[in-house]
Structure 1
């Protein structure tokens, strides 16, 4: 009952924030933009850095963040025009693959920041022990869902027959694992460092088995078409965030910020920082192999015979990013 009440309050808060947010007006010059974000995560480190260092304001853009409990909900808001940008990169590009009018415009990493952890109390010591167990993900069809399925298949387990994948919402994954209502969960930074401190069993990092697009930014086709100037301003601010995060002299400040934001011990914050830096793109681009792997993984659930090259054009548009990079 408490969980239901919490979810209702969060959903109500999201509706209030969207209602209060500046409504996109694609035909007019804008300074305020609304960004839909998922659960707090270090995967969006360049975005977070750009916000904290006022890089967007330097480009004449004021950013309001709106929290969504799942990527599909954020995509609905993006397509309807309630928000300008979304960090639901995986969910958004998969939706574009099936015809949704959205595109990925900048990627944060070529490797996914997802790791499957299990509870010792559930008898889990290795991937083989996952058979017949419950695995928590943020939502069915979400990136964490795809991550769980890819990891299970890598270990020759059928995700539909030999495990039970349970959707608990972005804010419910770690609590579900911690209290034992599930046996395993797909976690992201900084959750995995905390999980290890609590004695959870690290089963498999998706980054170790597959090059795959991680986080990034998606926008509607309409915004790209009708207000490319605004999109480029946002991209410039985000690229400044990339450069700030990669600059070695900023390490201590970033680690301290991570520790404060996620209530972590300094050593845990630094472990997370090093991991994210190891998979972070340097300039917002992602490899073709990464995109093709994402397509092949999605084909397992979304039936399409379209060639990968055609699907990439439906899912991604890096033309404005390339323009910004040339202007630097």
Structure 2
């Protein structure tokens, strides 16, 4: 009886330590976001600077939306609303079209009769290892010669197909029993019909995972949009926020508000797909 009581006490102590550790990690992760949001409600940039480094950074006595009303414009020197709309357009097209191309390529690799499929898969892995920074200059030359510079096409087309996402979807498709494909063929279904009506509905967790990863990658791109855009026509918000810096005077209040504007859409995008994303991660862990 005493041994059981001691074991229960030790178990409760371990649970308490785990809860404290998780709470500390969550506090470290969330606190910069809270400070960012609170700072965006302070209209005085000097107050933001003076509050940094103290607990006043997490509190605002007189919250104001003046910073948001100042930057929520489609015209002017820094049309942040225009940049935000551009990023949303780029995100929506890149993810939707990318899912079609990546899933079709993965389906052909998984169930198609391709000669040298192992070589193609090896090449996909090799292409993923190549850093993006090493190909931006040749890619910029191609885009410029095609007349696509400073356009949505220049920002969307290079990001649609990805070796990583094709390989991830391929790994998911090959785990689907081949008997399902064979049964659909016996019933007279064409390959595209099997892809569209059988494999895609069964792959919702994998599709959500790829959508989240590709969406976040597209949303956070900075180097390529900085090089390929010269005007506000297609410039995304990641490059727009950088225009607040690099000067003698930094308006931290509007920069904070713009950062919150950039963070909210991608957070909503993640929340829309997070149920399937978590299911995919759990399924991968169980299979592993």
Bigger fraction of residues in strand:
1
TM range (shorter): under 0.3
Q: Which has the larger radius of gyration?
A: 2
Q: Tell me the TM-score normalised to structure 2 length.
A: 0.25
